Amino acid sequence: MKLEDNLNEVLSSPGLTRKRIAFIGIGVLVATVVCISVIVAVSVKSSSPKSSSISMRYYTERLGSTADAIKWVRYSSQNFSLTDAFAGGTGANGDTVYVCRAEHPSKTSYKDELIPGTFFPSNGSCEVPYDDKANPHSVFDLLITKNPSRLLWANESKGKLQSGTISGGYTAYDEELYISRFRTYGYTVLGKIHLAHMKASGPVEGYERYSEDYDVLCFVDYEL
């Protein structure tokens, strides 16, 4: 069966709304000691990306391989491991930076946002872009995979996505946030794409900086 068909099946099942998948994900985070979450979702490029997400767990089962699993693992600044962490490029101080995400309070809702950003191993800080600021977090998730060749950065612009784009979080209003990469002052900035904004943004020297041109993180073999 084609993944497309499976996807339609998942989407037409009333119990498996995107919101619910996210909710289950949060439950897993809270409930497990190891705190491995599986709420990475895939989004298919379409006129309505909101309606086309599947869970990472589903994707992994589909491929029948846990060795290839791509997952988020919760860490803190005091205690983190870079083993299998997904590197995103060379950051501000010349060190390698990694894809992270962190929960951040919304200014306009009681719900938190879950925002992708840049992890700096030098000080153990995950900085996420929000409210025109770079917001440092000492509790965060790192994107972990034993097989980074399964992921690719696709060149895009102005809020456009690619087939197999990975969801990296959500706003307080349940809009997907995707994982972006762009360069500024010659170094790599990892951040988010909020489709409503039609551009990427990331943490740069204390501020949230925006870029209309960016790379978006996708699965390579999504079409399997």
Give whichever of 32 and 93 is closer to ligand NAG, judged by the CB atom.
93
Give min distance, CB of 59 to ligand NAG, in A. Answer: 25
Give min distance, CB of 109 to ligand NAG, in A. Answer: 25
Amino acid identity at 140: F
Give whichever of 6 and 163 is closer to ligand NAG, judged by the CB atom.
163
Interface residue with ligand NAG among 125, 162, 171, 180 (CB under 6 A) is 125
Interface residue with ligand NAG among 19, 122, 133, 221 (CB under 6 A) is 122
Q: Does 155 bind ligand NAG (CB under 6 A)?
A: yes
> Interacting stretch for ligand NAG, rule CB under 6 A, among 54-62, 102-110, 122-130, 162-170?
122-130
Q: Does 65 bind ligand NAG (CB under 6 A)?
A: no
Give whichever of 92 and 177 is closer to ligand NAG, judged by the CB atom.
92
| Of residues 80-109, those binding ligand NAG (CB under 6 A) | 91-93
The torsion angles phi and psi of 125, rounded to 5 degrees, stand at -105, 135
Give whichever of 59 and 178 is closer to ligand NAG, judged by the CB atom.
178
Q: Does 117 bind ligand NAG (CB under 6 A)?
A: no
> Interacting stretch for ligand NAG, rule CB under 6 A, among 20-28, 117-125, 142-150, 164-172?
117-125
Residue with tokens 């992994």: 60
How far is 212 from 145, CA to CA, in rounded Å?
28
How far is 189 from 33, CA to CA, in rounded Å?
30
> Interacting stretch for ligand NAG, rule CB under 6 A, among 21-29, 102-110, 116-124, 170-178?
116-124
Instruction: Point out which residues bind ligand NAG (CB under 6 A).
Output: 79, 91-93, 120, 122-123, 125, 136, 155, 157
